[in-house]
Chains A and B, each alone.
Chain A
Amino acid sequence: MDNLIINEGFPLLSFLIFLPLAGALVMLVFHGESFARFWTLAVTTVVALCSLPLVSGFDPTTAKYQFAEFHQWIPRFHINYVLGMDGISVLLVMLTTLIMPFCVLASWKYIQKRVAAFMICLLIMETSMLGVFVALDFVLFYILWEFMLIPMYLLIAIWGGPRKVYASIKFFLYTLAGSILLLVAIIALYLKNGSFYIPDMMWQQYSTTFQILVFLAFFLAFAIKVPMFPFHTWLPAAHVEAPTAGSVILASILLKMGTYGFLRFCLPITPDATFALAPYILWLSIAGIIYGGFTALAQNDMKKLIAYSSVGHMGFVTLGIFVLNSQGLEGAIMQMINHGVTTGALFLCVGMIYERTHSRELDVAAGVGKYMPWYVTYLAFFSLSSFAFPGTNSFIGEFLVLAGTFKENVPLALAAIPGAVLAAAYMLRLLQRVVWGRATNPDQSHLKDLNLREIVTLAPFLLFVFWIGLGPQPFIDMMHTSVVSLLDQLHSWQQQGMALR
Chain B
Amino acid sequence: MDPVTAATTISQEPNLLLAVIIPLFGSLVVMTLKNHPNLREFVSSAASILLFCIVLSFIPAIREGRTLVYQMFQLLPGLSITLRADGFSMIFAMVASSLWTIAVFYSMGYMRGLKEHAQTRFNACFALAIFGAIGVALSDNLFTMYLFYEIVSVCTYPLVAHHQDEEGYEGGKKYVVYLTTTAKLFLLPAMILIYVLAGTLDFPHNISTGIIPGDTRAWVVIMLYVFCIFGFAKNGVMPFHHWLPGAMVAPTPVSALLHAVAVVKVGVFCTTRTMLYVFGTDTMSTFNLGIPTAYFVGFTIIMASVIALTKDNLKARLAYSTVSQLSYIILGVALLTPHSIDGGIIHIVNHAFSKITLFFCAGAIYVAAHKKNISEMSGLGRTMPFTFGAFAVASLSMIGAPPVAGFVSKWYLLVGSMEAHQVGILLILIGSTVLNVGYFAPVTYKAFFGKKPEGAAVGIHEAPLSMLIPILIAVTISVIIGIYPNFMMQFVKAVTG
Contact = CB atoms under 8 A, between A and B. Distances in A.
Interface stretch (A201-209, A311-319, A402-410): A402-410
A413 interface: yes
Interface string B181-218: 10011001100110110000000000000000000000
A220 interface: no
A406 B75 contact: no
B76 A473 contact: yes
Interface stretch (A61-69, A240-248, A419-427): A419-427
B185 A436 contact: no
Interface string B134-174: 00000000010011001000100100010011100100010
Query: For chain A, what secondary structure do more than half of its interface residues adopt (helix, strand, loop), or is it mixed?
Result: helix
A414 B185 CA distance: 9
Interface stretch (A44-52, A77-85, A261-269, A383-391): A383-391
Contacts of A116: none
A470 B81 contact: yes
A428 B196 contact: no
A60 interface: no
Nearest to A399: B192
Nearest to B143: A390
A483 to B, nearest CB: 14
Given A420-B188, A439-B165, A473-B76, A391 B196 contact: no
A470 B75 contact: yes
Nearest to B191: A399
A178 interface: no
B10 interface: no
Nearest to A466: B73
B184 A391 contact: no
A417 B189 contact: yes
A380 B488 CA distance: 39
A161 interface: no
Contacts of B189: 402, 406, 413-414, 417
A420 B184 contact: yes
Nearest to B118: A370
Contact of A390 (B76, B146, B165, B195): B146
Interface in B64-103: 73-76, 79, 81
Contacts of A420: 184-185, 188
Contacts of B150: 389-390
Interface in A246-303: none
A410 B220 CA distance: 10
Contacts of A396: 75-76
B434 interface: no
Given A413-B189, A417-B188, A425-B177, A473 B154 contact: no
Contacts of B161: 436
Nearest to A438: B169
Contacts of A425: 177, 180-181
B192 A424 contact: no
A362 to B, nearest CB: 15
Contacts of B226: none
Interface residues of B, number: 31
B247 to A, nearest CB: 16
A471 interface: yes
Contact of B193 (A410, A428, A438): A410
A192 B19 CA distance: 66
A62 to B, nearest CB: 22
A391 B147 contact: yes
A384 B154 contact: yes
A210 to B, nearest CB: 36
Contacts of A421: 180-181, 184-185
A222 to B, nearest CB: 27
Nearest to A469: B75
B147 A473 contact: no
A436 B164 contact: yes
A399 B147 CA distance: 13
Contacts of B146: 390
B166 to A, nearest CB: 6
A106 B147 CA distance: 33
Nearest to A384: B154
B176 interface: yes
Nearest to B158: A436
Contact of A407 (B76, B185, B196): B196
A424 B74 contact: no
Given A414-B189, A470-B75, A472-B76, A424 B196 contact: no
Nearest to A373: B31
B377 to A, nearest CB: 31
Contacts of A472: 75-76
A406 B192 contact: yes
A473 B164 CA distance: 42
B148 to A, nearest CB: 9
B455 to A, nearest CB: 34
Interface string B42-84: 0000000000000000000000000000000111100101000
A403 B193 CA distance: 7
B81 A391 contact: yes
A403 B196 contact: yes
B73 A402 contact: no
Contacts of A413: 189, 192-193
Contacts of A476: 76
Nearest to A402: B192
Given A417-B188, A424-B184, A425-B177, A406 B73 contact: no
Contacts of B181: 421, 424-425
Nearest to A380: B154
Nearest to A468: B75
Given A384-B154, A390-B147, A391-B81, A417 B196 contact: no
B157 to A, nearest CB: 8
Interface in A442-501: 470-473, 476
Nearest to B74: A473
Nearest to A418: B185
A396 B73 CA distance: 13
B134 to A, nearest CB: 16
A424 B193 contact: no
Contacts of B164: 436, 439
B398 to A, nearest CB: 35
B91 to A, nearest CB: 24
A434 to B, nearest CB: 14
B32 to A, nearest CB: 11
A396 B164 CA distance: 34
A470 B150 CA distance: 16
A406 B220 CA distance: 12
Contacts of A403: 192, 195-196
Contacts of B185: 417-418, 420-421
B144 to A, nearest CB: 9
Contacts of A424: 180-181, 184
Contacts of A473: 74-76
Contacts of B147: 390-391
Pick the 4 closest A-B CB pairs, nearest first: A390-B147, A421-B184, A470-B73, A406-B196
16 contacts: A384-B154, A389-B150, A390-B146, A399-B79, A402-B189, A403-B195, A403-B196, A406-B193, A410-B220, A420-B188, A424-B181, A425-B181, A432-B157, A470-B73, A471-B75, A473-B75
Given A432-B176, A476-B76, 4 more contacts: A389-B154, A399-B195, A425-B181, A428-B176
